[in-house]
Structure 1
C-alpha cells in the first residue's frame, strides 16, 4: 500500500467546474514532490459552500488503484 499526503485548496467556483463536467481529474503535488492525479469524484464528499480546503491522505494499493482519500487536518 502507498500513502501520499498533500494540501488541497479549491474555491467554490473551481468545484463548480467539476459539477458542470469540466473537470475529470485532480492533480496535486504530494509532500515528497511527486505529482499525483486522481478522479475528481473522490473529493465530492469534502466540498462545502466555500469549496475544499485541507490536508489529505490518499491511499493506493500496490497496483496504484484507489483505496481511500481522507481529510487529516
Structure 2
C-alpha cells in the first residue's frame, strides 16, 4: 500500500459546488508532485465552517483505489 500527503485548502464557497452537484471530483497535487484525482465526497468528514483546510494522508492500494484518508496533526 502506498501513501501520499496532500495539503488541501478549499474555501467554503468552492465546496458549495460539491453540494450542488456541479463537481464530483477534486484534483490535488501531493507534496511529492503527484496529481491526485479524489472523489469529492471523501472530503465531507473534514468540512468546517471555513471549508477544508489542512494536511491529509491518502492511502491507496496497488490499483489506485482509495483505502483511507486521514487528517494529519
Give the TM-score normalised by structure 1: 0.95
Instruction: Give the whole-Å Cα distance in 1 for the aligned partners of 2:70 and 2:40.
Output: 14
Q: How big is the shift at 1:62?
A: 1.1
Residue of structure 2 in register with 1:39 after alignment = 39
Residue of structure 2 in register with 1:53 after alignment = 53
The runs of 5 or more residues in structure 2 that have no matched partner are: none
Runs of 4+ in 1 over 4 A off after TM superposition: none
2:40 matches 1:23: no
Alignment root-mean-square deviation, CA: 0.7
Matched residues, number: 73
Instruction: Give the whole-Å Cα distance in 1 for the aligned partners of 2:24 and 2:42.
Output: 10
Secondary structure (helix, strand or coil) at the match of 2:63 reads: coil
